[in-house]
Amino acid sequence: MGHSPSFIWRSICEAKNLIVDGVRWRIGTGKKINIIGQPWLLNNADPYVSTTSQALEGKTVDYLFEGESKRWNVDIIKSEFNDRDQKCILDTRVPIINSDDMLFWNQEDTGNYSCWLAIKVDTQGRVFADFGTWLEDILQAVNARESAAIISLCWAIWRNRNDIVWNQRFSSVNKTVAAAKQYLTQWSLAQSRSSVVLLQPVHEGDGDVVWANPQQNSVKVSVDAAVFEDKEGSGFGLITRDSKGMLLQAKTGIFAGVVTPVLAEAMAVKEALSWIDRMKWMDVTLVSDCLVVVQAIRSITPMRSQFGNVIEECREYLRRLNKIGLYHVKRSPNRAAHQLARESYNYSGRSFNRDSIPLSVKRCIELDLSN
């Protein structure tokens, strides 16, 4: 950069390093991604293969598939990689739809570079007397969009601090940032119901705050996800109810690997659509309390990320299946699915009816019907 680089040039170089650190490969065909030396594993801290093997040099990720099936060849993986890499590879998701390999930035759900984790302001090494003075100085140096991002992030950090102090509950950096982004999205939506927020405006039927039975001869499927950071996985809960609000069936499942909360929510919605398809239900209302996922599915915005891959799979299901309405609801009318998702680690891969549903979930359904 020379002996006295300009502020702009220093900023460009810092942004370059930040982007490179956040770049990941999204697997499509696997033909463009080298197994060794490229960031493609589902491991945010270290997405590179650590195994050293001459047999893997020059080979691409498709070498690890079972033929053209795009399923991992477990025998090859267990014979060629160390224990850490085996787990990371088998946890890494390969999309079922046809897509190409592409680079994305892993700090944004869309996969596009954003200012969210890249806001850096040169304060000339000054020391500030308090938080308020620091924040005022920062906000004077950025635009309105960046200001909103900074304030939301500060709020999320403060809430995280309170959770640690009062509830001994710890959250990861990614989870804290995701909470800030979701809060800003919902706040922006509340300010102007007619404006386009992020990806897609709300639809008529969105925003229920209490449980509402589906129409006669139709069913309602509620979906939610839960992230289990200590167990390095996430789970989902699906609940189907009839026009009287009574339970028909429920289902749980587990996803291996650490993912962001919003990706877990998207994967849960995809599982719900797959379930609807297999059960041949007609005239279905599908509800989720994750606004970001619902908006992303409705939009036509292309997304390069792993999140975008799952969203495209959800869109494909909706294009193919008839009479499915996707809506966003508040947490209260989704409490039963939320509780089942929280219990999913204890009931992994289970199906339930009215007699076998966990008591905690049954109570949530009864509470819905009493309101």
Do 244 and 335 sit in the same domain of this protein?
yes
The letter for the amino acid at 78 is K
**How does pLDDT run across 297-337, given as a tens digit for each residue?**
998 878 888 888 899 999 999 999 978 999 999 999 999 99
Region at 215 (left for phi over 0; alpha for psi -120 to 50; beta for the rest): beta
| Of 141, 166, 198, the domain-final residue | 198
Which run of H or E residues covers position 289? none
286 within 8 A of 272, measured Cβ to Cβ: yes
Residues 244 and 324 in one domain: yes
- Answer yes or no: do 64 and 94 share one domain: yes
Name the pLDDT band for 116 (thresholds 50, 70, 90): very low
Q: pLDDT tens digit string along 254-293? A: 998 878 899 999 999 999 999 999 999 989 999 999 998 9
Does 97 map to a domain? yes
Are 225 and 293 in contact by the 8 Å Cβ rule? The answer is no
Q: If residue 327 lies in a helix (H) or strand (E), which one and from where to where?
A: strand 324-328
Tell me what pLDDT residue 1 has.
53
Question: What confidence tens digit (pLDDT) does each residue in 234-249 have?
Answer: 999 999 999 999 999 9
Taken as a whole, the chain contains a residue count of 371
Any domain includes 40 = yes
In angstroms and rounded to an integer, the radius of gyration of the C-alpha atoms of the chain is 22
Residues 24 and 93 occupy one common structural domain: yes
Indicate the pTM of the whole model. 0.68
Residue 225's pLDDT is what?
A: 96
Q: In this predicted structure, what is the pLDDT of residue 298? A: 92
Q: Are residues 98 and 123 in the same domain?
A: no
| Residue 203 is assigned to a structural domain of this protein | no
Range of the domain at 127: 112-198
Kindly state the average pLDDT of the residues 183-206: 59
In a domain, 26, yes or no: yes
What confidence tier does 216 reach under pLDDT thresholds 50, 70, 90? very high
Return the pLDDT at 15: 55
21 and 100 part of one domain: yes
40 and 116 share one domain: no
Same domain, yes or no: 179 and 264: no
Which of 164, 198, 232 marks a domain boundary? 198
Dump pLDDT digits (tens) for 147-163: 888 888 888 888 888 88
- Same domain assignment for residues 342 and 227: yes
Q: Are residues 90 and 123 in the same domain?
A: no
Local confidence band at 18 (pLDDT 50, 70, 90 cut-offs)? low
